Amino acid sequence: MADGLVESVPDEFQDQVARVLLSEERIGARVKELGAQIGEAYRDQPLVILGVLTGSYMFVADLTRAIPLSKLEVYFIKASSYEGTGSSGQVKLSGLDHVDLTGRHVLIVEDIVDTGLTLQKLKQAVRELDCKSVAACTLLHKNTSRRLEGTPPVEFVAFEIADEFVVGYGLDYNQSLRHLPFVGIFRTKSAS
């Protein structure tokens, strides 16, 4: 049985989503737990959240509401390495030049860590801005043989998942299916 398989795919998405991997309820409960963990880790310290667009927007919105810190700033940056269902091997970053991170604790919030290439480039770029510390948080950490050697650690992980292409809760297939309230396994043409 798949982790978190507690609901069926709505009829209108049956041709695109093979099955629900993580339900809306399960995601919500885990995000609250993760918010509490982050709050404890940064207790009494100002924290800057860098949400990585576009995939993390739902996760960032829910997570920041669950972090019990009075000094919390949220910014969004753009990083992209996907085309279709695979990594392009190139990471494009934008938006870091509009944020002053000097001497600040920074938490990069991603939707998914797959090969680790995007996270590697992001942590390197943020460190170069003289922040006090940089850590990472991801909704999904994919167990894959494609992980790059030397990939930096992910300090806060909501869910470990198998190496399958997933959509929903911000994750997309060619810009569609982001709006789903759950995470589902994408139905490829060969799986139909």
Which of 114, 130, 163, 172 does the annotation list as catalytic? 114
Supply the DSSP symbol for 3: T
Q: Is 114 an annotated catalytic residue?
A: yes
Q: 130: how many CB neighbours lie within 10 A of its CB? A: 11
Distance from C-alpha of 181 to C-alpha of 177, rounded to nearest angstrom: 10
Alpha carbons 112 and 10: distance in angstroms, whole number: 23
**Exposure class string for 74-97: b at 16+ Cβ within 10 A, else e:** bebbebbbbeeeebeeebebeebe
Which residues are tagged catalytic? 114
